[in-house]
Structure 1
Amino acid sequence: MSAAPLLEARALALQVGERWLCCEFSLQLLPGQCLVLLGPNGAGKTTLLHTLAGLREPTVGSVLLGGLPYAGWSPAAAARFRGLLAQQQPDHFSSTVLETVLVGRHPHLGRWGWEGPEDERIAREALERVGLGAMATRDVLTLSGGERQRVAVAALLAQAPQLLLLDEPTNHLDLHYQIAILDLIRGLAAAGRGVVMVLHDINLAARYADQVILLDGRGGVCAGSREEVLQAGLLGEAFGHPLRRFDVDGRTTFIPE
C-alpha cells in the first residue's frame, strides 16, 4: 500500500491584489520526499509556502494536510504535524540559546505545562545536530546571523513535525553549513518525513529536491519532478537569463551563459 500524502495542493492558484502569483497547479508530497520552491525575487515563493503552511487561504483550490483541510485540524495538532522555519528570526528579548530552542516544544505541552527533562534532552540533541551544543547558555542576541539561523533550525527539529516547511534555510550560512544543514534536512526526509523549502540556488535544488515548483514571477508555474522542471530552457525563461546544463559525476549543474 502506498503512503498517504503529507501535503497536497489541489488546483491551487494565488492572487495578491490584482496580480496572480501562480496559475492553477496540483501536487502531492509523500513521506520521504523533498519539494523545493524556486523562482526569481518577488515571484511569490514565501506566499506560496505560507499558503501550504495554512497561514493564508488560497485564492483558488485547496491545501490538504495529512489528507484533511486545515480547518479540520486544531491549531495544536497542526503544529505537531507541520512546522515552519520563517525567513527572518526577530529576537525582541534576551534569552539563552537553549530557551529559544525549547520554544519548539510548545505544541507538545499541555495548556499549563512546562518543559520537562525530556523536552530539554530533545532541545539539546537538536543543538548538537546543528553544531551548537556548546552554545546552549549563550544569549541569543550575541549570535552571528549564521549561528542564529542554526538555532532556528534546531527549534524546528525540537518541534519534531512530520512535515517541515523552510523559507530559505541557507540564509546567512557559509558554504560548509549550507551543505551541512541541507544534508541534515535531506536526512530527515530519507527517514520518512516530508520537506518543503524555498531555495534561491538552482544547483542546490538540483542536489536536494525530489519535486520542484518553479514560479516565473509572471503568474506562470511549473510543478513536477526534479527531472521535469529543472530544464535549462524552463529555468532560463523563469529567471530571465539563459542557462547551460552540465551533468558531471552524477550531479547536475546549471551555469549562466
Structure 2
Amino acid sequence: MTLLSVNVNKIAVLRNSRGGRLPALVDEALRCVAAGARGITVHPRPDRRHITAEDVAAIAAALPDGVEFNIEGNPFAPPREGYPGLLALARATRPAQVTFVPDGDGQITSDHGFDPSALPATMAAQIAAFRALGCRVSLFVDAGEVHFESLRAAGADRIELYTGPYAEAHEAAHISASKGTGGVAGQAFRDALAACRRSAEAAQAIGLGVNAGHDLSQANLAAFLAEVPGVLEVSIGHALIAEALVDGLAETVRRYRAITGG
C-alpha cells in the first residue's frame, strides 16, 4: 500500500494569479483529506510564487491528526523577506516529513535530484537539524542512481525518486503505440521504468525508504507502482489538479486512492 500525498501548490498558483483568497487553499487541502488523501504536500519557494510561509502555517494548523504533512524545499536556500527558510518553517509547523530538493528560483519546477557523490559539505548537519525536530528526511534523487551510501551516512531516512523522465517516456510510448510505431519509444519507456526500479531496490537494500513524485498521473501511476517495489509514498500535484478540472477534486483524489491503495 502506497500513501497518497496531494501537492496543493497549483491551487496556490491559481489563487496568486488573481489575488485574494480564492480558491481557499486550506479548504481545498481539507477537501482532499475528506476524499481520502492521507497526506498533504507543499513546496514553498523563496520567491513565493505559489505556497507561502503563511500557507504552510495555516495548513499545518488545519490538518487533522493522522494526516501526514510534507514540506518540500531547498534547505540551503537562505532566508529572505517573506521566506524564513526551510528549517524555520519546519520548526514552526513540525511536519511529519521534509523533502530536500536542490531547486533554485530560476527553475519552473523541480527538474533534478541531489548527486549522492557530491553532497554539500553540511548535508549531514542539515539533516540532523530537521530530525531533531521529529521530521523524517527524504532527499530528491534522479532515477537510475544506485549509490546511496552517502545519503544513508548523512542520516537520510528516505529518497524520493524524480519521476519526470519516466512520465515523459510513458507519454511518448503511449503516443507511439497509438500510431502503431511503438518500437523506440516503447524501449525508452521500459528503460525509464527499469531505472526507477534499480534505484528503489538499491535504496531499500541499505535501509532507505522510497518515495516518488513528479508528473505522476492516473495514466502512468499504476504501471509505475506495479514495477517499482515497495514505494511508500507518492506526492502528486500538477496532474491531479489538471484532472480535477474535469472530474472534480474529490472524485480525482478517490481515483488516485484506488490506484495507490493507501
Q: Same fold (TM over 0.5)?
A: no
- TM-score band, normalised by shorter chain: 0.3 to 0.5
**Higher relative contact order (CA closer than 8 Å, sequence separation 6+):** 1
Between Structure 1 and Structure 2, the one with more helix by share is 2
TM-score for both structures, normalised by structure 2: 0.37
